[in-house]
Amino acid sequence: MAIKYIDQADFKDKKVIARFDFNVPLSGAPLTIDDTTRIDLAIPTIRKILTGGAKKLVMMSHLGRPKAGKDKRFSLEPVASYLAERLHEEILLTESATDSAIKTMLGLSTNRIILLENLRFHPQEKANDPEFARTLASYADIYVNDAFGTCHRKHASTYGINTYFPQDAYGGMLLAREVTALAKVVERPQMPLVAILGGAKVQDKIKIIEKLLPIVSQLLIGGAMAYPFLKAQGYTVGKSLCDDGDVKLAKGILMDTTARKISLPTDHLVATSIHGDAVSITEKNIPDDMMGLDIGEVTVANYVNLISKAKTVLWNGPMGLFEKPCFAHGSMEIAKAMAHASDAFTLVGGGDSVSAVKRSGKGDLISHISTGGGASLEYIEDGELPGIQALKFGINE
Ligand code: AMP
C-alpha cells in the first residue's frame, strides 16, 4: 500500500492534528532560536492544511531531551512566537499536551492554530503509551505526520497515534520530499552511485555499509571511521580514534567481495592531540604519537574525482574533526564537489555533514539536504521507517 500524502486529504471544516519536527537549537536569555530551518521547512504543510479549510490545526513536536515534567528551558514558546510571526496568525500554546483546557480551545471560534507544549514533558511520548496516543488523537479528525526526522522512532505522536486514524492519516509535504529523495538513492539510483561515509563510529554505520556495498559503485570512507579499516588492513593508526570492536567489524566487511568498492584515505592530516597543529602525512601509516584528524590532499583529490563522475551521490558523516577549521578541509571539499556535480542527484544526511555543507556555502546546489540524519540512515538500512509504515497501514498493537 502506498503512503497517502496531504494532497489527497480533504481538510474542509476538519480538525487536524499534525506532528512536526520543531526540535530547533535554542540559546540566550530569553531563549531564542539559533536556526529556524526545521520550522521553515514545515511551513508549506501548515499552509496547505490551513488553505485547505481546516477548522482547527493542532500542531505538536518535541524539543530537546527534557526529563519528565515541564521545564521552561525546553518550552516550545519561542517556536510559537516565531510561527505566529511567519503565519500572521495567533497561536495558542497549551500548558501541556494533555491540558484539560485544550478541549475548550478546540471549541473557540477565534483561534485556528493550537501548539501543544513539548511532547517530551510526558514520558508516555517516548514509551509510545496507548492512552497518551489516544488523548492526542482525540483532538482531531485527521492526522498528518511531517516529522520525517523522528519517523525512525516508535513514539506515541509518530507511531501509536496512527491506530486512531485508520483512514485519515497522511504524510506531509516535507515527508514526501524526504521519501522521494531517498528513493532516488536506494530504489532507482542513476549509476554510478557514490556513497561517502564519515564520522566517528563504524558500529553505528555497520548496517548501512553492508546495505550500501552491493548497490553502490564506490564507497568512500573518511573521518574516524577510516582508521579501523586501515588498522584491519595492517596499517598503523597511532593515537587516532580506533576501537578494537570496530577493527573487528571492519575486518569482516573487508573479507566480502564487495569490499573492492571501498576507498580508504591514502594520506592524512594529523596532530599530536585534537588541540595540536595540523601536520600532513603523505602515506597511509600514522606515526605512534599522532592522531588522524582529516583526510589528506591526495585522498581529497581522489574522492573529488570519483564524485565528479557520479550520477548519484550520498554523503553521511564528516571527513574529519571538521568543527576545527584546520581539520575541516576534507569535509569542505566533499561539500563543494557534491555541489559542483551538477549532473548528479546529490543527497546529504546527518547533522554534521549538513552543517559542513551549510558552512561551505554551497547548500543551495545540493539536490536534497535531509532533515533527519538518523531517520535517513535507517531508511536506507531497512527500506522503511516505523512512522512511515504506520502511516500506510495504521498499527494494531
Ligand atoms: P558521526 O556522528 O558518527 O557522524 O560523527 C561525527 C563526529 O565525528 C564529528 O563531531 C567529527 O568531529 C567527528 N570526527 C570525524 N572524524 C574524526 C577524526 N578523525 N577524529 C576525531 N573525531 C572525528
Q: Tens digit of pLDDT for each residue in 160-180? A: 999 999 999 999 999 999 999
Q: Are residues 194 and 173 in the same domain?
A: no
Residue 161 within any structural domain of the chain? yes
Residue 184 within any structural domain of the chain? no
Verify whether residue 374 is a known catalytic residue. yes
Give the structural domain span for 304: 189-378
Q: Are residues 171 and 194 in the same domain?
A: no
* Contact indicator for 320, 200 with CB cutoff of 8 Å: no
Verify whether residue 296 is a known catalytic residue. no
Helix axes 373-382, 173-186, angle to 10 degrees: 50
12 burial (CB, 10 Å; 0-12 / 13-18 / 19+) is exposed
- To test the ligand 1 pocket, which listed residue (237, 241, 242, 249) has its Cβ within 8 A of the most ligand atoms? 241
Residue 388 within any structural domain of the chain? no
Q: Is 132 in the pocket of ligand 1 (CB under 6 A)?
A: no
Q: Which of 177, 207, 235 is the last residue of a domain?
A: 177
Q: Are residues 114 and 161 in the same domain?
A: yes
Q: Are residues 249 and 285 in the same domain?
A: yes
Q: Is 352 in the pocket of ligand 1 (CB under 6 A)?
A: yes
Verify whether residue 260 is a known catalytic residue. no
Q: Are residues 45 and 74 in the same domain?
A: yes
Q: Are residues 164 and 198 in the same domain?
A: no
Residue 390 within any structural domain of the chain? no
Q: Are residues 156 and 211 in the same domain?
A: no
CA distance 167 to 153: 22
Average pLDDT on 260-264 reads 98
Residue 389 within any structural domain of the chain? no
Average pLDDT, the chain: 94
Closest-lying ligand 1 atom to the alpha carbon of residue 205 = 3
Residue 149 within any structural domain of the chain? yes
Q: Are residues 165 and 294 in the same domain?
A: no
Maximum mean pLDDT: which of 2-6, 31-35, 293-297:
293-297
Residue 107 within any structural domain of the chain? yes
Q: Is 199 in the pocket of ligand 1 (CB under 6 A)?
A: yes
* Contact indicator for 300, 330 with CB cutoff of 8 Å: yes
Residue minimizing CA distance to atom 12 of ligand 1: 321
What pLDDT score was predicted for residue 395? 64
**What's at 129, amino acid-wise?**
D
Residue 352 predicted with pLDDT over 90: no
Verify whether residue 320 is a known catalytic residue. no
The pLDDT-based confidence of 244 (bands split at 50, 70, 90) is very high
Q: Are residues 35 and 149 in the same domain?
A: yes
Residue 328 within any structural domain of the chain? yes
CA distance 51 to 215: 42
Question: pLDDT by residue (tens digit) across 370-389?
Answer: 988 889 989 988 888 999 99
Instruction: Name the active-site residue from 52, 64, 374, 394.
Output: 374
Q: Are residues 18 and 58 in the same domain?
A: yes
Question: pLDDT by residue (tens digit) across 82-137?
Answer: 999 999 999 999 999 999 999 999 999 889 999 999 999 999 999 999 999 999 99
The domain spanning residue 122 has which CATH number?
3.40.50.1260
Q: Is 296 in the pocket of ligand 1 (CB under 6 A)?
A: no
Q: What is the DSSP letter of 361?
A: T
Question: pLDDT by residue (tens digit) across 271-329?
Answer: 999 999 999 999 999 999 999 999 999 999 999 999 999 999 999 999 999 999 999 99
What separation in Å is there between the alpha carbon of 291 and the centre of ligand 1? 13
Q: Are residues 326 and 358 in the same domain?
A: yes
Domain count, the chain: 2
Q: Is 372 in the pocket of ligand 1 (CB under 6 A)?
A: no
Q: Are residues 161 and 257 in the same domain?
A: no
- In angstroms, the Cα distances linking 229 to 243, 244, 275 are 11, 11, 24
Closest-lying ligand 1 atom to the alpha carbon of residue 292 = 19
